[in-house]
């Protein structure tokens, strides 16, 4: 088994504190972390620019850039979907702190039944 140096980047963290996440990434890659460089990255890759001017939460069906809303997946899952996903990937959700217990499908109010 090989060991690789990796960095875990969560969309939720980028959304709440993009500057700190990018700084951490740049440090990990041994790149310059000058404030102006990180700010330019944030400015040029924000949701408005990447989506062609849409606001966060505004959906465009065939767009490569989705809605830009953390946790929006719950609006597309049914309880059955959640149980299946938990069976397939549940241990990873726990390992990477996406969920706190294996009973997470019971904790959400799913749109689809």
Confidence at residue 33, expressed as pLDDT on a 0 to 100 scale? 86
- Ranges of H-type helices in the chain: 11-28, 35-44, 47-50, 79-95
Sign of CA dihedral 66, 67, 70, 76: negative
Confidence at residue 37, expressed as pLDDT on a 0 to 100 scale? 94
CB 33 within 8 A of CB 27: yes
- pTM (whole model) above 0.85: no
CB 102 within 8 A of CB 94: yes
- pLDDT 10s digit of each residue in the chain, 113 long? 678 899 999 999 999 999 999 999 999 999 988 999 999 999 998 888 888 888 888 888 888 888 988 988 888 899 999 999 999 999 999 999 999 999 999 999 887 76
CA distance 85 to 93: 10
How far is the CA of 70 from the CAs of 11, 28, 36, 37, 87, in angstroms?
A: 7, 25, 27, 25, 22
């Amino acid at each position: 088994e090989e060991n690789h140096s990796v960095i875990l980047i969560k969309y939720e963290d980028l959304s709440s504190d993009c500057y700190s996440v990018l700084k951490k990434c740049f440090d990990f890659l041994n790149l310059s972390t000058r404030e102006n460089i990180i700010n330019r990255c944030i400015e040029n890759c924000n949701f408005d620019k990447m989506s062609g001017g849409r606001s966060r939460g505004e959906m465009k069906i065939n767009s490569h850039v989705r809605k830009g809303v953390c946790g929006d997946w719950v609006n597309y899952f049914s309880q059955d979907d959640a149980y299946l996903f938990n069976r397939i990937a549940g241990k990873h959700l726990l390992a990477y702190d996406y969920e706190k217990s294996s009973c997470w499908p019971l904790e959400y109010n799913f749109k689809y039944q």
